[in-house]
Structure 1
Amino acid sequence: MAKDFEKHDLSSPSLEGSPGENTLREPLAESRYHDTDVFGHEDDHEIVYKTLSWQLVAVLMVAEIVSNGMLSLPSSLAVVGLVPGIVLIVFLGVFGLFTSWILIQFKLRHPEVHNMGDAGMILFGPFGRELLSAGTIIFAVFATGGQLLAGQIALGSLSNGKLCLMLYTGIFAIPTLIFSLPRTLDKLSWLSVPSVFSILIAGIVGMVGAGISFPVASISVTVNTSFVTAFISVTNPVFAYAGHFMFFILISEMKHPTHAMRAAWVLQTFATVFYVVFAVVLYIYVGPTVASPAFSSLPEKWQKAAYGIAIPNFLIAGSLYSHTAAKLLFVRFFRKSRHLYSNTVLGWGVWIFLVFIMNAAAFVLAVGVPIFNYLIGIAASLFASWYTYGIAGAFWLYDAYMYKGGREAWKRNWPMTGLSIATLAAGAFICVAGTYVTIKQIVDAYKSHLVASPFSC
């Protein structure tokens, strides 16, 4: 396997470039990129992966990231206050754009990187590959389960809870499985278009419902609270941006990977603006008692309307997560094999099996583990904190050291060196603090007898 991860210095990508810059010179650099990337030149392939435009990648990114995570943001403002909440959401959006740029630069230098596991192989060897691959799969499966729970809440709201909650989850799991079956992301990208519209319209409906149903509430500009309570609320916006673990996989299926930064700009701009507006409006009208998810604070008719409209987004986001987990293993098994790009019985059989396993695992966890909501927080703290924030610093430090002159490069580019170290520190802090407060929540839930039994209604 080691030969698959040789260091490719494409010469033209620049560490000093600004976000959004086209850092591969045409046409030679992009030609060399396709010589060494995971799917290679696809002229004679039956299954063609590299079909995505940057616009469709932007849609996929928005559909994946801007989902049920935003519904917890108004409650975060209720805990920390209006101004700190807005500052935090905006800061994390800018921070996410910065780490997106570093990840994309790293991908352009290392075309053979298909997922975080491949990046781990370059940085840390076989142990890094296994650790980051496992983390990607675990987080993707847990995120799929989170979308199943969001679908459960939506269906329960629409039907006034007439069925067992486990049945709602099962009903929602079936289309999630079906939508994750396409082998290539371009099929899911077109499904993601209505997904993006659904969460956008659902958010607007929720804001209109809050504005019509409630007077302006008594809100706080800042709130004094304990570290644990405050950090619990801080994790909501942190993990509302947690989608970078998919970026390598998405870029690997682009026609022109040098355009990836355009998609990142669209994602972070849309997410940040939408998050701020949604969180502020819901908090201003509902007030400090706003629930998480926020739609549950609305009057019944508005709640049903918002949840009903958001269902396509919950479905597609869950499908994207389970697709990602299956795709990582599928490429790992069949890299450089005809089963990767041909319609073979073995290839399709393994693919369908992997998709089924990922969705089944998400369903079993969602309905069978009473503390699953908390476990999502732990998985996000352990892995998403690094994939979205921390590990980007390691990517820049590695490439600067390898391709720009070792430690002297770190000294010459001391602003980026400092930012990269700070990024690593931020990832470590979110990881440790997020894990700690989530474990404390679990302990408190058991003490308060708030934990239900497995597979209960």
Structure 2
Amino acid sequence: MSDRSVGGRIAPVLPHLANYDFGNDDTGSDILGKQIELEAGNDIQYRTCSWPKTAALLFSEYICLAIMSFPYSYSVLGLVPGLILTVVVAGLVLYTSLVVWEFCLRHPEVRDVCDIGQMLFWGKQWAWYATAVMFVLNNTFIQGLHVLTSAKYLNTITNHSECTVVFAVIATIICWVFSLPRTFSALSKLGTGSAFFTFISVLLAAIFAGIEAHPAGYNPDPNFIDPVTGIHGGEPIVTALPVKGVTFVAGMNAFLNISYTFIGQITLPSFIAEMKDPKDFPKALWAVTICEVIVFGCVGGVVYAYTGNQYNTAPAFGSLGNEVFKKVSFSFMIPTLIFLGVLYASVSARFIFFRIFEGSKHKSSHTVVGWSTWAGILALTWIGAFIIAEVIPFFSDLLSLMSSLFDSFFGFIFWGVAYIRMRRIDGGVNWLKEQTLYGYTMLAFNTIIILIGLFFLGAGTYTSVQSIIDSYNAGAVGGVFTCANNGI
């Protein structure tokens, strides 16, 4: 790795990270070399991930259950705008992820997005705390989503043989056990299996949607209206453009659904911090982005084509009319139902654990205190996730709200600011006056990225709140700790 091509630091090493006895003038490669050298004799080594292992983590994060909500988004937005937005959002996330990577090359001592948040906003302690709150809440809500979805799966596969709360407890315990490995290198093996089985799951769902006679809820009479669901009968209606009457709230929710599936930059600094050669990160990033666009677009488009505007559900497994097809395809999703929550739990636990034991033997050795604390932190995050999943009756809408509030920063604003601050260091005092046309174009582009983040923060938050209000008005809000069947 050449620091001349990477660029200089935007700020000195943060005080709480200066545990390797390096000065403020050390380059990124010097710091990385010292980290690897100091870890060489440790029982637990963190800088061990190769780029294929990092790719496995990325695949497990992105190739997930959310793919099965794309048919719904396409039904609201229309197939053509839906596919275009899929490619555009993927491109934006790819670009901002490369900015994250460049920042981490310049500052390899950062351990997570919280350290980056503090560095971006001039080393202010409040920036670290604000980022940390958003970081932990975001991850815990995602864990809660996976507790809820796992209970949904168990209800579906067993035809609601138990109280839903019991299934949620079972899911929480299983996820905690699989969270116990301490390094991402160890988790990458689970991630590989998770991504593979998820791909099989969505592929089967698309095939089953194509070969079955009719989707769930089908009625041949185009004048029929289901008195319970309000779904119109007739053959599935597929439209290239949005149908007349689509509201701003519905359209924004569909767009945000696509965006939230791609936005995952919050975990990238944590992954890069455990790579033995961070300069290889783009290989993993490009591999997963190309696969994302192909899988999301093809599966979403195919399932939408066979379920139309009337019969699609989110997740789309519920659109399958054949019970065997639905249960078989949904069952292959089990690894990702567990592992994606595990991944976010591990990122949160790593964040807390490192701050407790930085510089001590418990961080890098197999000690009773270290392992007990690690298991205890994970248990607390999963208990929090379970409570969130059970107590909040409008969980999915609240998750959208949290995503609007947090992904606006972690998906866009942070990285537009990071680009500008890095270019400012590269160009010196007169960097604005001495920019080329390309430089001004990129400056404008990154300013737009910041504005997109502000749009997510504003419009996304509005539509999420309005969706919660609409759910209450429609009587669609359930109870807390309910035994009611939530299967699809």
Check whether TM > 0.5.
Answer: yes
Q: Report the TM-score, using the length of structure 2 for normalisation.
A: 0.86
Larger radius of gyration: 2
Deviation at 1:144, TM superposition (A): 0.9
Which piece of structure 1 moves more, 144-153 or 240-249?
Answer: 144-153
Match in the other structure for 1:113: 110
Match in the other structure for 1:19: none
What is the identity, as a one-letter code, of the residue corresponding to 1:298? L
1:423 partnered with 2:449 = yes
Q: Is this contact kept in 1: 2:70–2:258, CA < 8 A?
A: yes
Match in the other structure for 1:174: 173
Match in the other structure for 2:236: 217
CA 1:411–1:315 in structure 2 vs 1: closer, same or farther (change >3 Å)?
farther
1:388 partnered with 2:411 = yes
Deviation at 1:166, TM superposition (A): 1.6
Match in the other structure for 2:316: 294
- After superposition, give the CA deviation of every residue in 1:310-354 in whole Å (9 maximum; x if it has no partner): 011111111001111111111222223332212233322221111
| Separation in structure 1 between the aligned mates of residue 74 and residue 257 of structure 2, nearest angstrom | 10
1:46-57 mapped onto 2 (5 Å cutoff):
46-57=43-54
The runs of 5 or more residues in structure 1 that have no matched partner are: 1-8, 16-27
Match in the other structure for 1:45: 42
Q: Is this contact kept in 1: 2:3–2:29, CA < 8 A?
A: no
Match in the other structure for 1:322: 345
1:361 partnered with 2:387 = no
What is the identity, as a one-letter code, of the residue corresponding to 1:56? K
Deviation at 1:409, TM superposition (A): 4.8
Match in the other structure for 1:453: 479
CA 1:127–1:50 in structure 2 vs 1: closer, same or farther (change >3 Å)?
same
CA 1:410–1:181 in structure 2 vs 1: closer, same or farther (change >3 Å)?
farther
| Separation in structure 2 between the aligned mates of residue 419 and residue 406 of structure 1, nearest angstrom | 21
Deviation at 1:14, TM superposition (A): 4.9
Deviation at 1:36, TM superposition (A): 6.0
| Separation in structure 2 between the aligned mates of residue 36 and residue 411 of structure 1, nearest angstrom | 36
Match in the other structure for 1:441: 467
| Separation in structure 2 between the aligned mates of residue 36 and residue 275 of structure 1, nearest angstrom | 41
CA 1:31–1:297 in structure 2 vs 1: closer, same or farther (change >3 Å)?
same
1:95 partnered with 2:88 = no
1:137-176 mapped onto 2 (5 Å cutoff):
137-176=136-175
| Separation in structure 1 between the aligned mates of residue 198 and residue 115 of structure 2, nearest angstrom | 32
CA 1:276–1:44 in structure 2 vs 1: closer, same or farther (change >3 Å)?
same
- After superposition, give the CA deviation of every residue in 1:259-300 in whole Å (9 maximum; x if it has no partner): 011111111111111000011001000111200111111121
Match in the other structure for 1:256: 277
Q: Is this contact kept in 2: 1:46–1:343, CA < 8 A?
A: yes
RMSD, aligned α-carbons:
1.9
| Separation in structure 2 between the aligned mates of residue 232 and residue 214 of structure 1, nearest angstrom | 30
Secondary structure at 1:221's aligned position in 2? coil
- After superposition, give the CA deviation of every residue in 1:1-58 in whole Å (9 maximum; x if it has no partner): xxxxxxxx9443059xxxxxxxxxxxx9774142465x76311211111111101111
Match in the other structure for 1:25: none
Which piece of structure 1 moves more, 426-435 or 329-338?
Answer: 329-338
CA 1:228–1:45 in structure 2 vs 1: closer, same or farther (change >3 Å)?
same
| Separation in structure 2 between the aligned mates of residue 354 and residue 398 of structure 1, nearest angstrom | 35
CA 1:387–1:279 in structure 2 vs 1: closer, same or farther (change >3 Å)?
same
Q: Is this contact kept in 2: 1:83–1:222, CA < 8 A?
A: yes
Deviation at 1:441, TM superposition (A): 1.0
Match in the other structure for 2:266: 245
| Separation in structure 2 between the aligned mates of residue 190 and residue 202 of structure 1, nearest angstrom | 19
Deviation at 1:99, TM superposition (A): 0.6
Which piece of structure 1 moves more, 168-177 or 215-224?
Answer: 215-224
CA 1:95–1:343 in structure 2 vs 1: closer, same or farther (change >3 Å)?
same
Secondary structure at 2:263's aligned position in 1? coil
Percent of matched pairs sharing the same residue: 28
1:269 to 287, 290, 308: 290
Match in the other structure for 2:326: 303
Secondary structure at 1:288's aligned position in 2? helix
Match in the other structure for 1:6: none
CA 1:164–1:335 in structure 2 vs 1: closer, same or farther (change >3 Å)?
same
2:424 to 388, 391, 401: 401
| Separation in structure 1 between the aligned mates of residue 59 and residue 156 of structure 2, nearest angstrom | 25
Q: Is this contact kept in 2: 1:331–1:340, CA < 8 A?
A: yes
CA 1:79–1:240 in structure 2 vs 1: closer, same or farther (change >3 Å)?
same
Q: Is this contact kept in 1: 2:7–2:106, CA < 8 A?
A: no
Secondary structure at 1:44's aligned position in 2? coil
| Separation in structure 1 between the aligned mates of residue 336 and residue 480 of structure 2, nearest angstrom | 27
Which piece of structure 1 moves more, 341-350 or 232-241?
Answer: 341-350
Match in the other structure for 1:69: 66
| Separation in structure 1 between the aligned mates of residue 474 and residue 429 of structure 2, nearest angstrom | 54
1:330-341 mapped onto 2 (5 Å cutoff):
330-341=353-364
CA 1:52–1:199 in structure 2 vs 1: closer, same or farther (change >3 Å)?
same
| Separation in structure 1 between the aligned mates of residue 391 and residue 433 of structure 2, nearest angstrom | 49
What is the identity, as a one-letter code, of the residue corresponding to 2:53? L
Secondary structure at 1:287's aligned position in 2? helix
| Separation in structure 2 between the aligned mates of residue 13 and residue 326 of structure 1, nearest angstrom | 30
The runs of 5 or more residues in structure 2 that have no matched partner are: 9-25, 215-234, 484-488
Q: Is this contact kept in 2: 1:68–1:147, CA < 8 A?
A: no
Deviation at 1:447, TM superposition (A): 1.7
CA 1:410–1:248 in structure 2 vs 1: closer, same or farther (change >3 Å)?
farther
Q: Is this contact kept in 2: 1:68–1:150, CA < 8 A?
A: no
What is the identity, as a one-letter code, of the residue corresponding to 1:58? A
What is the identity, as a one-letter code, of the residue corresponding to 1:416? M
| Separation in structure 2 between the aligned mates of residue 202 and residue 415 of structure 1, nearest angstrom | 42
| Separation in structure 2 between the aligned mates of residue 168 and residue 339 of structure 1, nearest angstrom | 35
Q: Is this contact kept in 1: 2:175–2:338, CA < 8 A?
A: yes
1:34 to 32, 35, 39: 32
Q: Is this contact kept in 1: 2:74–2:300, CA < 8 A?
A: yes
| Separation in structure 1 between the aligned mates of residue 434 and residue 186 of structure 2, nearest angstrom | 46
CA 1:407–1:95 in structure 2 vs 1: closer, same or farther (change >3 Å)?
farther
Match in the other structure for 1:23: none
Q: Report the TM-score, using the length of structure 1 for normalisation.
A: 0.91
